[in-house]
Structure 1
């Protein structure tokens, strides 16, 4: 057990959980009791019964997000079950409150059955203003999100997919500026075609960065390949414009940028050296696909990772508090691709152009001002 793990365990033992429910008004008198509960509470109930929209005004659901997992893809630990995933869900809820002043509640669902999971979330959705899906294994996560968007009247957002995509897009916008590369003309190689990788590839393609090439354990993904899951099949139609085949090393030769959402130590110095003035985002945790010093020594011009101990930490905490804050404020029924693009551009804009440099392309993960900027951008793109 390393030092951080030991100290974290001690903190969890001390706290007995990282979040708590706090009443917004103290109950100290009989009158307080009558207003907060019976008999007075009956009137808000009748108002909501008559007009469903008043549930946003008369309850907390307008600022309440459910953080929901089935425990099948917890961090880098895999399928460890819903109970073991609870510390992560609590942590996510704490970040929602700390960074976006959004109330969030952890829910760990004990099933591997997609139908059962979807039905469970649907049945509890009237208690919340948004659903944040978390740490659900691919390819089930694609179907779960799609189906929940169809049956829920509130935003459903799989942060492992779209939060990661948004923060990568923000970092890539500024990395292109630093290196002088032109939007629309770059080749970006993404290694890892799971939930995060497919979402990153989709968003970068939609935003027009250039030719995105996806790779997985079998190498380059090309339209027409056999054995692709639903997410990979969908993205194969909008990526790999030149229908390349081969290994990750083949894909990186001459590429402008690399994004890793796979596992550690998969990229060598030689691979980076074969690229074109490379932008390298090795984001596997805790061990990146290539360590930053190795990438820089091989010629990388900009390097960003998922870790806090290196410059340019590419972290979802820059995204999800603001995304939901904006969506809740505007009472959005969904989070669209246009809202995701707006969020990415908003995050990128927080680094003034005269302050951009290879070690400063993305705001600090601890910058609590990011959420308000993202929320404003997202709310402006909510359809009427």
Structure 2
């Protein structure tokens, strides 16, 4: 085990060194390029003045035409205040930019989405809301990113209500969606039913709170859900309930609604007879004692999602009886990675010109991801990022659901949405390959590193 930790640390250090060197070399991960031909200066008379005035006059008669006559239909903002960046904490908007650029790269490569990093300096959540709303005319959607809790809940709820484009917080919704997808297939494998299983969420931050609400929307009984935070099991008689009601009403509501048996105490008490453990807590192999798996029901399902080191090592979970184990890491089976979610979801809501996104859309997305794995096994409960066919399928399912819910401005069949998404994503990947073949995207100065 010690050797494994040393290898992981050495590999991480190599990634860090390369990231610094290559960031200096490329000076950013994304750039804006023209998509229209310029054969001579006369073409500017079409793309700019005087021809562009006709386009502006047309949009002025119907603002939704901006989705058809400009790039707004395929452009989103990645909006952050830099208050909770990866595992780095509150490092500010400037330091958040490299992470937002990386997110934009994934959006574009996997989903064909033009994503613009927009780190902002704001002093209050109300100011954040004001900035986001002022940006709405420029974008077809907003991806909130790396925002501290519980501010992130307020921002998502407020902006979803007050904006007429989809607003998504990936740390909440993306993680919750891929977690649900993994659990759907895990339950199928062990032969249990959604309405009967007992689910314990260890950690009550953005990801697990969103997941608890999503699981309820997917048919899990709220009475069979228990959340555990650093102070113990969430339940109505906790001494901090008044504080939660004022400062974190989303967590407060879960304390009232979940835990039908009114279990008290710590994680050990919560896990007695549980079918599923989903831990999104502190990184480290001893955060959760692997022996607690023995307290769980037959064929327990264990998701230990902390990065870079899970709360217990998968081998230890299995030694103590876990039937299925998932982590947030790519070097173990069953990586629960929200990169499987957000590129396809945004491809779908953009293609449908959706006015919003909600839990019903997310449940549909989770089932599409789960169903992509036609024969799930204990070692394969979700797709991998290399299975790129997932993304147009996911986009099609999401777009179709927004039509069903009356959220779509653009109506099409599931097959029509699928073809559109597949064409956009495949064309985008072809552009990448061609630019690399031609040397227009320069190779890394020291060649490709393998780890």
TM-score range, shorter chain: over 0.9
Determine the structure 2 residue equivalent to 1:223: 236
**Which residue of the other structure, out of 372, 375, 391, is the alignment partner of 1:371?**
391
User: Structure 2: how far apart are the matches of 1:320 and 1:169?
Assistant: 14
User: Among residues 362, 384, 393, which one is paired with 1:340 in the alignment?
Assistant: 362
Does 2:97 correspond to 1:86? yes
Distance (whole Å) between structure 2 residues aligned to residue 152 and residue 269 of structure 1: 44
Q: Is the 8 A contact 2:301 2:323 kept in 1?
A: yes
Structure 2 unmatched runs, 5+: 1-11, 407-451
1:361 alignment counterpart: 381
The answer to whether 1:270 aligns with 2:291 is yes
Partner Cα distance (1:208, 1:150) in 2? 24
1:122 aligns with one of 126, 133, 143: 133
Distance 1:9 1:259 in 2: 34
Greater CA deviation, 239-248 or 60-69? 239-248
Q: Distance in 1 between matches of 2:141 and 2:346?
A: 7
Q: Could you tell which deviates more after superposition, 312-321 or 222-231? A: 222-231
- Whether the 8 Å contact between 2:202 and 2:229 is mirrored in structure 1 is yes
- State the Cα distance separating 1:333 from its structure 2 match: 0.8
Larger mean Cα displacement after TM superposition, 222-231 or 296-305: 222-231
Query: How far apart, CA to CA, are the structure 1 residues paired with 2:311 and 2:23?
Result: 30
What aligned pairs does 1:184-223 form with structure 2 within 5 A after superposition? Answer: 184-210=195-221, 211-223=224-236
Q: Give the whole-Å Cα distance in 1 for the aligned partners of 2:380 and 2:146.
A: 29
1:351 maps onto 2:373 in alignment: yes
Q: How big is the shift at 1:275?
A: 1.3
Distance 1:160 1:238 in 2: 23
TM-score when normalising by structure 1: 0.97
Structure 1 gap ranges (5+): none
Cα offset, 1:224, TM superposition: 4.8
Asked if residue 251 in structure 1 is aligned to residue 270 in structure 2, the reply is yes
Q: Which runs of 4+ in 1 moved over 6 A?
A: none
Native 8 Å contact 1:205 1:239 kept in 2: no
1:304 aligns to what SS in structure 2?
Answer: strand
Q: Which residue of 2 aligns with 1:320?
A: 342
CA distance, structure 2, for counterparts of residue 90 and residue 246 of structure 1 = 42
Q: Larger Cα Rg: Structure 1 or Structure 2?
A: 2
Counterpart Cα distance in 2 of 1:366 and 1:201: 28
Q: What SS class does the counterpart of residue 115 from structure 2 fall into?
A: strand
More helix per residue:
2
**2:305 alignment counterpart:** 283
User: Which residue number corresponds to residue 40 of structure 2?
Assistant: 29
| TM-score of the pair, normalised by structure 2 | 0.83
> How far off its partner does 1:150 sit?
2.5
Q: Partners in 2 of 1:112 and 1:188 — Cα distance? A: 37
Q: Which whole-Å CA distance do the structure 2 matches of 1:180 and 1:363 have between them?
A: 20
| Number of residue-to-residue matches in the alignment | 382
**3-state SS of 1:381 partner:** helix
TM-align CA RMSD: 1.3
CA distance in 1, matches of 2:313, 2:69: 51
Find out whether 1:77 has 2:88 as its counterpart: yes
The alignment status of 1:300 with 2:313, answered yes or no, reads no
1:279-322: per-residue Cα shift (whole Å, max 9, x none)?
11100111111111111111111011111111000001111111
C-alpha distance after superposition, 1:70-122 (max 9, x if no partner): 00010111111111111111111111111111111000011241111110111
Q: 1:117 & 1:73 partners in 2: Cα distance?
A: 15
Aligned residue for 1:241?
260
Name the SS of the counterpart of 2:76 in structure 1. strand
1:54 equivalent in alignment to 2:75: no
